[in-house]
Amino acid sequence: MTERVYVETQGCQMNTYDAGRMVDVLASEAGFEQVDRPEEADLLLLNTCSVREKAQEKVFSRLGRWRAYKEARPGALIGVGGCVASQEGADLLRRASFVDLVFGPQTLHRLPEMLARRRAGAGPQVDVTFPEIEKFDRLPEPQAEGPTAYVSVMEGCSKYCAYCVVPYTRGDEISRPVADVLAEVGQLAAQGVREVNLLGQNVNAYAGALGDGDSADLGLLIEAVARIDGIDRIRFTTSHPAAFHSGLIEAFREVPELADFVHLPVQSGSDLVLKLMKRGHDAAAYEDLIARIRAARPSAVIATDFIVGFPGETEAELEETLAMIDRVGFDGGAFSFIFSPRPGTPAAELTDDVPQADKRAWLQRLQARLHEQQAAAHRALVGTTQTVLIDGPSRRDPGELSGRTSGNRVVNFPGEPAWIGRFAEVYITEACAHSLRGRVAAVEGEAMDYAAAGAGG
Ligand code: SAM
Ligand code: SF4
Ligand code: F3S
C-alpha cells in the first residue's frame, strides 16, 4: 500500500521550498504520496522556524497535538526538520521524546535512509549536519504545483546580523552551481511553470560556479534564467542592502522578465540601531540604493522588513525610522516585528530596558504609516491595466480567479478556471487593503471581446 506523508511548514519561502523537496524525495525513493490531513498520515513532518520566539513555541504545541495522531495510528512516525531542529538537534528529543526523526535544512534528502533505519529498529534518528551542497545533488526532479515556483539557489547566510539565528540554523552561504539551477528551472518550465522566485536568505550574495572555474553573480544568473523557454517572469528573495551589486541593478534595466519588485529589508532608519544590528550599511546608503534601483526601473515596487524595540532603541530612533519611511515610500508594504531575543545571538546579551507595551505602541505607529503608503499605492492603480499571471482560484471566493502583477500585488477577478497558468491583462476597478479587484481585458491565447470584458472602464 502507498504510504502517506503529511508536511506542515512554518517560516520563510526557503522552508516552503524545502517542504516540497521532502515530498519529492519521499515520493521518488520511498513511494510516499502527500496527504492534507495529519491524522491520515504514516509520516508527519513539521518543518520549523526559529526566527522569533513565537515561531519556536508553535513547534511544541503542534507536536503535542501530533503525539495523539501517532498513538492512534500504529506505525505512524513523526519527523521534525527546519531551523528549530537544526538549532536543537538531539536536545529536541528531551522535550518531545515521541519524535522519531530530527533533520536539518541541509539533510532533508537523507529522510528515506533515516526513516528506514528507524523502522529497522534503531532509536530516534538525528542528523542536523551541514553537508553543504550535497542536498541539491541528491534531490529528484521537482514536481511543479501551478504556474509559479520557488527555486533555492543558495543555502545559509554569512551576514551574522546581531539579532538573527539564520546563520546558526542554516550554516554559512553556499551557492548552487549555475548549471544546476538552470536544469531545475528547465524542469519546472517543462511542467508549465511561468514564473520562478530565486531564493536565498541573502540571495544577492549568490556566486555560483560556471564550470570554467569562474563564478556568476545573481545578475548573470537572472539573465540566464530569462533565456529559458517558458519562463516569463523572475523574482528573487531576500536581498541584503550591503551586497546589492551594480550587476543586479543592471538586470533591472536590461532583463524585461525580471519583475518590478524588490524586497529589500532595512530593519531600521536609525544609523545607531543599524550599527548595533551589525547590518553593515547606514540609512543613507540604503536610500541611495533604492534611488539607483528606481532609476534603473522606475516601476519597481519596494517592500521591506523592520524590527522595532531593538535593545537600546529609543523613541528618537523610532522617529528616524518613520522619517525614512516617509522619504522612501514603501509601496510594496513591509513585514514588521518586535525584536525577539534569540538564544546564541549577540543581541540577546544586550541590555534591553524598553517596556514591551512601548514596543507594541511603536510597532502600531510604524505599521499605520506603512499601511497608508501601501493603500495609496493600491488606489493609484485603479483605472490602469496590469499584466497578471493567473495562479489559481481566489482565496476569498473560489468562484473567482487570482493572480499577481509584476509588482507583486494580488488581483482578484471573475474568469474561467481554464485560464489558470496564463498571463492576462486586467483592468483594475477597485483597491482593497491587501489586494486589488479587476476585470479581464485580454487573456493569453484567447480571442476576446474587449468591450464585453469591460476594458476601458
Ligand atoms: N535574510 C533576510 C534579511 O536579511 O532581512 C530575512 C531574514 S529573516 C528570515 C526575516 C525577517 O525577520 C528579518 O528581515 C527581520 O526583520 C526579522 N527578524 C529576524 N530576526 C529577528 C528577531 N530576532 N526578532 C525580530 N525579528 C527578527
Ligand atoms: Fe539574518 Fe541578517 Fe542573514 Fe538576513 S542577512 S538572514 S537578517 S543574518
Ligand atoms: Fe525561519 Fe529558518 Fe526561514 S529561522 S525564517 S525558517 S531560515
Pocket test for ligand 1, best of 337, 339, 370 (most atoms within 8 A of CB): 337
Question: What angle in degrees, to the nearest 10, is found between the helix axes of 246-254 and 283-296?
Answer: 30
Closest residue (by CA) to atom 11 of ligand 1? 305
83 Cα nearest atom in ligand 3: 2
Q: What integer pLDDT is reported at residue 457 of this predicted model?
A: 38
Query: How confident is the model over 315-366, as pLDDT tens digits?
Result: 999 999 999 999 999 999 999 999 999 999 999 999 999 999 999 999 999 9
Three cell numbers written together for 45:
513532518
CA 228 to centroid of ligand 2, rounded, Å: 30
Contact (Cβ atoms closer than 8 angstroms) between residue 194 and residue 240: no
Cβ of 160 closer than 6 Å to ligand 1, yes or no, is no
Distance between Cα 145 and ligand 2 center (Å):
28
Note the pTM of the prediction, 2 decimals.
Answer: 0.94
Mean pLDDT of the chain: 94
CA torsion angle for 206, 210, 214, 219 (degrees, to 10)? -40
With beta carbons less than 8 A apart as the criterion, state whether 304 and 334 touch. yes
- What digits encode the pLDDT tens for the residues 126-185? 999 987 767 777 788 999 999 999 999 999 999 999 999 999 999 999 999 999 999 999
Nearest CA to ligand 2 atom 5: 159
Are 403 and 147 within 8 A, CB to CB? no
Mutate to test the pocket of ligand 1, among 54, 164, 166, 240 (most ligand atoms within 8 A of CB): 164
Candidate of 51, 84, 273, 339 to mutate for ligand 1, largest count of ligand atoms within 8 Å of Cβ? 51
Higher pLDDT, 286 or 136: 286
Give the pLDDT of residue 449: 56
